[in-house]
Structure 1
Amino acid sequence: MTTRLSGQFGAGAWNLPRQLNALDSLMWRCEANPRLRSPLIGLFLLDRAPDWDRLLAGHDWATRMVPRLRERPVTSLLVPASLIWTADPEFDMSHHLRRVRLPGPAGRRELLGLVETMAAAPFDPNRPPWESVFVEGLRWEGKSCAAAWILRFHHSMADGQAAVAWLTALLSRGREPRHDKPQPPIPPVSRPPSSLALLPSLLGVDLGSAELTRLAEEALRAALRPRHAAVECARMLWTAVNLAPRPVGQLSPLLSARGTTRQLDLMTVPLDGLRAAAGAAGVSVNDAFAAAMLGGLRRYHELYGAVPETLAMAMPIQVRGRHPMAGNRFGGMRVAGPMAEKDPLVRLSAVHRVLAAAHAAFDPAGLDLVTNLLNRLPTPLVLEIARRIGLSFDLQLSQIAVFDPGFYVSGAAIEDFWCFGPVPGCAVTAIMISRRAGASIGVTADAASVTDLPVLMGCMEEGFKEFREGRPRRRGRSGSLR
């Protein structure tokens, strides 16, 4: 583990917000419904089994550098909807770190089976919501990996961007241990703040002087520019309405079933083609990622029946605030993805248009309005609304730009890695980890929605092949690529 640290680590990490924001709280409250659980799982392939003693010491050091790893959400007695990060007075590393050896010979499918089991398991509400599992004795097709690392944590702790920042700062750049690392003490176990002290934030008001100044400035701007204020208010309301549980685009009859069993699979694709295609079309890699995924899903639908003109899909919009190293701060845009379009060039342009329009219309204030209102509702009602929102789209996509290879965990080199996200009511979630060398894509599917995941993965690989040459290949009249 390394010394490339920011002010948010060590003693600085103790200044992270104690109260979960509205979005974090909603994610944690949805843990009560197995279909809405929100684990994030990182799967790392290692070239060797890490030294166990170094691993124990490294994890202990990480929890002192990032004390959030020693904390759990606790409900306020006065206001049940208020959750506070509180240090676990009985924190025990043995509840979070373990190593296993799968019955041999164990390869890709056996390892993914273990990850699937972990994805379905609930977090213990009495302990910090994370676990770190090291798997030994693997045989991975085409790779020299001998071990794997599975890191599972609840989405309320951090989103993908914050988690990457944590890992980038904590992982090592070499095999040998470092002896010049900062050694912060174990953070003190303090009482959570009183419910009365939290009332201003529960009402959406921070009585600090900086916040009062901001509110006064916003009121003055609204008075001086009423038309501008009206436009901003309309954007905020549009964002709030777009987050409501209503369909956006067509829902696929083929993917309509929902259950609690999760299937996971992965693939690695070259990123140069996506980058070149995006550059040639004047769009983003995120647009090309979505266009390739829609192309793969179109092929899957062609095998099993009719292809809807569009597919209801969701993608996040990052809205980072004062604490970029903790919690979640993103909005969701739900759009009608042009799935039936066979021409990859036309599909790429269409994807760009719908995503750009949704992004331009998004306003963080609308997100805050919805999440704060939802967080004041009884948990059964919150679960029902969250369920309906999840059912309003079939596909969820996310892209994370990550560090390049060259990182180590307790002497073991990380050879490859993927991230798997939850399917909170939707049929498929795909997360693309983009690096210089390529893109690692982790797919989580509802087993009731996707009845043949290997076939779907093959279709998705074909969708990405359209962009492999750097320029999308048009289709001829017969449907073949030319």
Structure 2
Amino acid sequence: MKKLSLVDKGFLVSETKDTPMHVAGISLYTLPEGANEQEFLHSLAETLRTPETLLSPFGDRLRTGRMGLAGATHWEPDPELDMDYHVRHSALPKPGRYRELFNLVSRLHSTLLDRSRPLWEMHLIEGLQDRQFAVYTKTHHAAVDGARSIHISRSMLSSNPNHIMTESPLSLQSWERYKSALTMGKPPEYGHGDLRNVSDMLKSSFDSSSNILRAVKGFAGAWSGEGELSLPHLKVPRSSLNTPINSSRRFVAQSWPFARIRAMGKALGGTFNDAVLAMCAGALRQYLQTHAELPDDSLKAMVPVSLRQESDLESGNAVATISADLATNIADPAERFRTIRASVQAGKQYFSEMTPSEVEMVSLIMQAPALLLMPMGLISQLPPYNVTISNVPGIRETMYWNGAKLTGSYPLSIVTDGMAMNITLVTNADKVDFGIIACRRSVPQVQRLIDYMELALSELEEAAGLVSAKPEPKAPKKRRAPAKPKVKAEQKAEIKPKAKLKTKAKPKTKAKPKTKAKPKTNPTHAKK
């Protein structure tokens, strides 16, 4: 049996009907050439349902003592495991667009997982256009974090389109083979971002008491207005993003080229993660402006940070958080980018001399007010952040599942009272796949955020000098305007003969003067 950590139990304690605490992903695949969709998906489902021994937590259920979650809580093997319950086969209504897929995923993500069973579900979804199918998988956050879920996904896939997996990708045997490949020097290619790699700079040689004291001093300094450090509940404005929520969700997704976002961040003197935050900040600013509710103070984002060591593949959660100032009160995109970068650097510096356990402890201390406010129903009055923006390192090569090409990998995370939107992104081959989940009631028309993100990216590219200035798109109109006089001037000689043709072609116009000949009689009528 494996004992749950305080962080793991925190996701169980804070879960309600309106705030499910599971993370999920929707993966898009293209069928192999010549494959029959129903037969192919049936084969995948059968393989998934027949493991010899399941990888944890897929075969484990919760076990608590007399004190419930307040006491010791463990994962234990489920003696009544029903794989038909966990692996499901669904079909989309016609015409099978992404709209129908996202509507289905929104409903699936709104419901709680059954705590009497292992806390996960997988849905194989057929009926998409262009010979695509989708796989929606959700797992309770008490069991996995984003980094481990990527490892689990990677163990199911192969870079060889001809590779066929004959055993369940959820099996312990498949997982052990994947770990062996890592130890033999064949790790998957993951993106390496500064925000998720804070653990590389954390040093375990420092005395905990001195580091905690330094953290408390930094905490006090931030509240007094010193430096760039942003903290939970500190100058966090209220908006529609920070209202009580219900269980209904709305999910939208979009992809952008990885190289495009990275080039923008580099040109502005920052990292890929800075670029992502600036892109989201610009979109949120436009969204709130459109709804006439942009606050005077800047929005603050909770940015999860992985503390997982590269060799650690088994931990459920190894996460801390940075509070990032999104500078949504700044109109200039370049200045907004610089403010975001300074805020993130201050947050990283704050944790830089702590061990992973110290970072986790300080993060829990920072979240303590929220844990008190949430059961009192006051979290939307004093929100710790406005939105969550999470960058999960993904797979940086083209992958296949039994010959089906992975074409998209869109994450879905958690929204809570007071934080009604969550933006999570995953790097996938040469793309960045964004998944946006929000409370349908609190954040209306969330699908427009996709357009605003493209607009924000274009503005940042222009500020960085990567694209032409805005006046250029108006050039075609300027060319068409003077074109007419030039044509008339050049073809004056041709106009005369054409005019004769026109006069011949218009006998009716000559007939009109005959009718107008009557005005000769008009004067006589006038004399009379």
When the two structures are superposed, what TM-score results if normalisation uses the length of structure 2? 0.70
Question: How far apart are residue 297 of structure 1 and its match?
Answer: 1.1
Which of 390, 393, 398 does residue 406 from structure 1 map onto?
A: 398
Aligned residues: 421
Look up the match of 1:41.
24
Q: 1:382 to 1:86 in 2, by over 3 A?
A: farther
The aligned runs of 1:198-237 (5 Å cut-off) are 229-235=209-215
Question: How far apart are residue 19 of structure 1 and its match?
Answer: 0.6
Corresponding letter in the other structure for 1:391 = P
Look up the match of 1:109.
99
Look up the match of 2:501.
none
Q: 1:286 to 1:407 in 2, by over 3 A?
A: same
| Native 8 Å contact 2:121 2:137 kept in 1 | yes
Which of 397, 407, 413 does residue 415 from structure 1 map onto?
A: 407
Q: 1:138 to 1:333 in 2, by over 3 A?
A: same
Corresponding letter in the other structure for 1:353 = A
Look up the match of 2:517.
none
Looking at structure 2, the residues matched to 254 and 455 of structure 1 have their Cα atoms a distance apart, in angstroms, of 15
Which of 358, 376, 379 does residue 388 from structure 1 map onto?
A: 379
Residues 385-411 of structure 1: CA deviation (Å, up to 9, x unaligned): 797399322211011221135323344
Look up the match of 1:196.
none
Question: How far apart are residue 163 of structure 1 and its match?
Answer: 0.7
| Native 8 Å contact 2:29 2:133 kept in 1 | yes
Tell me if 1:352 matches 2:363: no
Residues 175-194 of structure 1: CA deviation (Å, up to 9, x unaligned): 4424699986899xxxxxxx
Look up the match of 2:46.
56
Looking at structure 1, the residues matched to 366 and 408 of structure 2 have their Cα atoms a distance apart, in angstroms, of 41
Q: 1:84 to 1:145 in 2, by over 3 A?
A: same
Residues 5-49 of structure 1: CA deviation (Å, up to 9, x unaligned): xxxxxxxxxxxx701111111112222x13432221111112133
Look up the match of 2:510.
none
Question: How far apart are residue 131 of structure 1 and its match?
Answer: 0.7
What SS is found at the alignment partner of 2:127?
strand
Which of 445, 448, 469 does residue 452 from structure 1 map onto?
A: 445
| Native 8 Å contact 2:3 2:74 kept in 1 | yes
Corresponding letter in the other structure for 2:305 = I
Question: How far apart are residue 56 of structure 1 and its match?
Answer: 2.0
| Native 8 Å contact 2:321 2:363 kept in 1 | no
Q: 1:403 to 1:244 in 2, by over 3 A?
A: closer
RMSD over equivalenced CA pairs, Å: 3.9
Look up the match of 2:74.
84
Look up the match of 1:29.
13
Provide the identity percentage.
20
Looking at structure 2, the residues matched to 244 and 275 of structure 1 have their Cα atoms a distance apart, in angstroms, of 24
Looking at structure 2, the residues matched to 20 and 39 of structure 1 have their Cα atoms a distance apart, in angstroms, of 16
Tell me if 1:169 matches 2:155: yes
Q: 1:370 to 1:307 in 2, by over 3 A?
A: closer
Which of 19, 22, 26 does residue 3 from structure 2 map onto?
A: 19
What SS is found at the alignment partner of 1:138?
coil
Question: How far apart are residue 65 of structure 1 and its match?
Answer: 5.7
Look up the match of 2:325.
336
Tell me which moved more, 296-305 or 45-54.
45-54
Q: 1:176 to 1:75 in 2, by over 3 A?
A: same
Look up the match of 2:459.
466
Tell me which moved more, 242-251 or 99-108.
242-251
Tell me if 1:441 matches 2:424: no
User: Which stretches in structure 1 are left out of the alignment for 5+ residues?
Assistant: 1-16, 188-216, 223-227
Q: 1:372 to 1:234 in 2, by over 3 A?
A: closer
Question: How far apart are residue 68 of structure 1 and its match?
Answer: 2.2
Look up the match of 1:318.
306
What SS is found at the alignment partner of 2:342?
helix
| Native 8 Å contact 1:248 1:336 kept in 2 | no
Q: 1:439 to 1:470 in 2, by over 3 A?
A: farther
Question: How far apart are residue 350 of structure 1 and its match?
Answer: 0.9
| Native 8 Å contact 1:73 1:85 kept in 2 | yes
Q: 1:276 to 1:85 in 2, by over 3 A?
A: same
Q: 1:250 to 1:303 in 2, by over 3 A?
A: same
| Native 8 Å contact 1:245 1:388 kept in 2 | no
| Native 8 Å contact 1:133 1:150 kept in 2 | yes
What SS is found at the alignment partner of 1:52?
helix
Q: 1:477 to 1:385 in 2, by over 3 A?
A: farther
Q: 1:477 to 1:440 in 2, by over 3 A?
A: closer
When the two structures are superposed, what TM-score results if normalisation uses the length of structure 1? 0.76
The aligned runs of 1:66-145 (5 Å cut-off) are 66-77=55-66, 80-81=69-70, 82-139=72-129, 144-145=130-131
Tell me which moved more, 437-446 or 462-471.
462-471
Q: 1:329 to 1:244 in 2, by over 3 A?
A: farther
Look up the match of 2:479.
none
Looking at structure 1, the residues matched to 5 and 149 of structure 2 have their Cα atoms a distance apart, in angstroms, of 17
Residues 231-286 of structure 1: CA deviation (Å, up to 9, x unaligned): 54331675799999962333243434332121110111122222112223332111
Bigger Cα Rg: 2
Which of 419, 430, 442 does residue 423 from structure 2 map onto?
A: 430
What SS is found at the alignment partner of 2:108?
helix
Looking at structure 1, the residues matched to 430 and 230 of structure 2 have their Cα atoms a distance apart, in angstroms, of 39
Q: 1:178 to 1:136 in 2, by over 3 A?
A: closer
Look up the match of 1:283.
270
Looking at structure 1, the residues matched to 378 and 344 of structure 2 have their Cα atoms a distance apart, in angstroms, of 24
Question: How far apart are residue 314 of structure 1 and its match?
Answer: 0.8
| Native 8 Å contact 2:333 2:459 kept in 1 | yes
Look up the match of 1:10.
none
Question: How far apart are residue 55 of structure 1 and its match?
Answer: 3.1
Looking at structure 1, the residues matched to 429 and 116 of structure 2 have their Cα atoms a distance apart, in angstroms, of 40
Question: How far apart are residue 472 of structure 1 and its match?
Answer: 5.9
| Native 8 Å contact 2:45 2:124 kept in 1 | no
Question: How far apart are residue 441 of structure 1 and its match?
Answer: 0.5
Question: How far apart are residue 161 of structure 1 and its match?
Answer: 0.7
What SS is found at the alignment partner of 2:106?
helix
Corresponding letter in the other structure for 1:388 = I
Looking at structure 2, the residues matched to 254 and 179 of structure 1 have their Cα atoms a distance apart, in angstroms, of 49
Question: How far apart are residue 438 of structure 1 and its match?
Answer: 1.7
